[in-house]
A and B are shown apart, each in its own frame.
Chain A
């Protein structure tokens, strides 16, 4: 196997996948968690997330019975942890689409080992996010009023409202993410089908829809996948822009600003990549995927965290500058109040976690250190949650008239929905790790060393062709 040693020079320094792996190894390694009984660690994590999910739904049940007054909401602060968590979870999802669609269009082939789990993260994050506007409505059972449907009142939803845009953006995002994810899964389900027997073969066979890997089908498949990536790219940018319109189209100082769409999108990618790093550091360890999700992948993601973290920091500075420069006293007050008022603690948690902590990634050794990146990724997640909390609560709690002012104090039910949403998200993610191929089998094969040879240009192929004909 001399060709394994003489690798293409561009890749010689850093293989995408550890070079010893063969095609058959990929199938065996990725299918292993599906074919074995789960380990103790998985069971413990799953048990905890299941319990958190149960208390989440109990809280939702009680809140539907009693009303949203059980949360700490009060007169000026009508939006708090519910909308904070909604924006947080939608943002988490964005990294998945960025990895799967945008990096695909830019031919960043390192994405192949991580796109499946990142896309799964997107779907579960958007599912979690979608619960929050529903429970926040109070009368959750009227959730279908958000959808324009013919009804006896002959009324339609107001399409000029950003809250209706949100409904369309989030449902489209969830649907297209699932379509994209499932399209990627079809060949891998077929791989699992072909190595299984009995009920597993039947189930994965049905999921694979009877895929056989015909070249005629691959031809359609690759084009369709490219089209979906092309559609998802503007979609992901639109979703968080529309989420930011919920705030930006209002007149509240601190919300009413044109910087919001790019600022929200950068923040979403920032937090999403942090969540991907958190999940992958655990996943590669628990399921022994270190040879697929290498330090190079994590290094690349940490670079993106550093870059987007600085964009977010720049946006914080711009907001302050514009508030000062606008000459609008309400705007100025809101920002001074943000940094020095009753919610200053939240503001400074946000700044230190989001702007300061990623700075360690300037150093290569720290970008490649698993404990450092794990801690930073969690700090970034905390910081990004508090960013949304700061934007929402600190802008609301002191609005135009001082008699309206108040403070927001979360109750036990607020805490319950926060931890509950994490439980709900991790429950789905753990189920995914157990039953679905967490790495794209077909895509990883195309970046293996053994496959690299086929990337030769037409000239080399013509030579090979002649060699066959010579004798």
Chain B
């Protein structure tokens, strides 16, 4: 999450272990967690279910954004309709009441969906720090057929040799140290 980024010192080194199978990655992540490695992340070509639980990644807060923005959009739309039709320039149309609520519902709904949907995308980009075109590509196959476990330097007890030793037992195709 956003705050975590500021809490930890910026890492300069990281270890990346590559797997050719999502199951091996899941098992490796569980093992790494048991060894107390922190700040771990995984890079996968598609969302591997169960991985975030193993890595201890919290559930996304984006649904709240969708809910709040969807309701705000609907409220704004309805308020705008009532203001324009009944207050700013009231016009009698077919003897309908100035505030013709049933007739205002379609636009209210569409405004809610419009704001909710666009803000969901905005929240996704914000949560992922995108666009970020300068982010280093750790390995080109991580969007293809490799599943990577990523352990950045997390503090004074970060022990490169120990982590490498543990990861080498997990059936990784490759384990490498990256300068980040």
Contacts and interface: CB of A to CB of B under 8 A. Distances in A.
Is this pair of chains taken from one and the same complex?
A: yes
B83 to A, nearest CB: 9
A228 B85 contact: no
Nearest to B47: A218
Interface string B73-96: 000000011001100110101101
A222 B114 contact: no
| Residue from A22, A215, A454, A465 whose CB has the most chain B CB atoms within 10 Å | A215
Interface string B4-44: 00000000000000000111001110110010000001111
B124 interface: yes
B63 A227 contact: yes
Contacts of A162: 106
Nearest to B150: A214
Interface-central residue, B50, B62, B111, by most chain A CB under 10 Å: B62
A68 B33 CA distance: 70
A212 B43 contact: yes
A24 B120 contact: no
B134 A227 contact: no
A210 B63 contact: no
Nearest to B22: A454
A169 B34 CA distance: 52
Contacts of B42: 214-215
Contact of A465 (B1, B30, B51, B107): B30
B110 A231 contact: no
A404 B121 CA distance: 52
A69 B94 CA distance: 30
Q: Secondary structure of the A side of the interface?
A: helix
Interface in B107-134: 107, 109-111, 113-114, 116-118, 120-121, 123-125, 127-128, 130-134
B85 A156 contact: yes
B130 A469 contact: no
B59 interface: yes
Contact of B47 (A159, A179, A194, A221): A221
Interface stretch (B139-147, B155-163, B172-180): B139-147
Contacts of B49: 454-455
Interface in A223-240: 223-224, 226-228, 230-232, 234-235, 238
A238 B130 contact: no
B96 A227 contact: no
A364 interface: no
A158 B133 contact: no
A455 B31 CA distance: 19
B3 interface: no
B93 A160 contact: yes
A224 B124 contact: yes
Interface in A374-404: none
Contact of B60 (A191, A223, A467): A223
Given A190-B143, A454-B26, A175 B133 contact: no
B160 to A, nearest CB: 21
Interface residues of A, number: 79
Contacts of B103: 159-160
A168 B106 contact: yes
Given A175-B117, A220-B60, A468-B31, A187 B46 contact: yes
Interface in A188-218: 190-191, 193-195, 205-206, 209-218
B27 A219 contact: no
Contacts, number: 232
Interface in A144-169: 148, 154-160, 162, 164-165, 168-169
A159 B84 contact: yes
Contact of B128 (A172, A221, A226, A458): A221
B110 A169 contact: yes
B114 A176 contact: yes
B22 A183 contact: no
Contacts of B107: 159, 164-165, 168
B144 A27 contact: yes
Given A159-B81, A212-B138, A461-B26, A222 B47 contact: yes
A242 interface: yes
B84 A194 contact: no
A183 B130 CA distance: 12
Given A159-B107, A165-B106, A194 B121 contact: no
Contacts of B80: 148
Q: Quick one: which of A182, A219, A238 has the most chain B CB within 10 A?
A: A219
Interface stretch (A4-12, A134-142, A328-336, A445-453): A445-453
A453 B135 CA distance: 31
A234 B113 contact: yes
Contacts of B124: 183, 220-221, 224
A266 B132 CA distance: 43
A211 B132 CA distance: 8
A453 B48 CA distance: 11
Given A24-B145, A164-B107, A213-B44, A195 B84 contact: no
A249 B26 CA distance: 57
A214 B150 CA distance: 9
A237 to B, nearest CB: 10
Contacts of B137: 194, 212
27 contacts: A27-B143, A154-B89, A156-B89, A160-B93, A162-B106, A175-B114, A191-B45, A206-B133, A209-B130, A209-B132, A210-B134, A215-B44, A218-B47, A219-B47, A220-B127, A221-B124, A224-B120, A227-B63, A227-B116, A228-B120, A231-B120, A442-B47, A453-B23, A454-B26, A454-B48, A464-B23, A464-B26
5 closest Cβ pairs, A-B complex: A23-B145, A209-B131, A156-B84, A223-B60, A210-B132
